[in-house]
Amino acid sequence: MRYLVALLALAWVVMNALVGYLFVREALTDKVAHKGFVLQSLPLLGGAVLILFCLPLLWQALRLMLVESGVQGLVLFEHEK
């Protein structure tokens, strides 16, 4: 089940990163550049933010796939018994 969730998360990351790339690429075309800085910056920043929001999900999906089952959280203190 973990691998299914991780693969779905990776698919989500790839699709969102593709949409972010398309936003950035469209913002750098001549058609949008002639409309002015404000209209060019909206898809540019939107695509960049969309790609940046993909990074934590990518990190968690890879961690879910690669870390062995057991403690998956951050262990701050170990209690000795």
pLDDT in tens, 6-35: 999 999 999 999 999 999 999 988 888 888
On the question of pLDDT at 66 being above 60, the answer is yes
- CA 47/CA 2 separation, integer angstroms: 29
Q: Are 30 and 10 in contact (CB under 8 A)?
A: no
What are the residue ranges spanned by the domains of the chain? 2-65
Does pLDDT of 73 surpass 70?
no
Q: How far apart are CA 2 and CA 65, in angstroms?
A: 7
pTM of the model: 0.73
Query: Which run of H or of E encompasses 64?
Result: helix 37-66
The arithmetic mean of pLDDT across residues 63-81, rounded, is 66
Say yes or no to pLDDT of 71 above 70: no
Q: How far apart are CA 38 and CA 32, in angstroms?
A: 10
With a cut of 90, say whether residue 3 has pLDDT above it.
no
The pLDDT score that the predictor gives to residue 29 is: 87
Residue 1 — pLDDT band, cuts 50, 70, 90?
confident
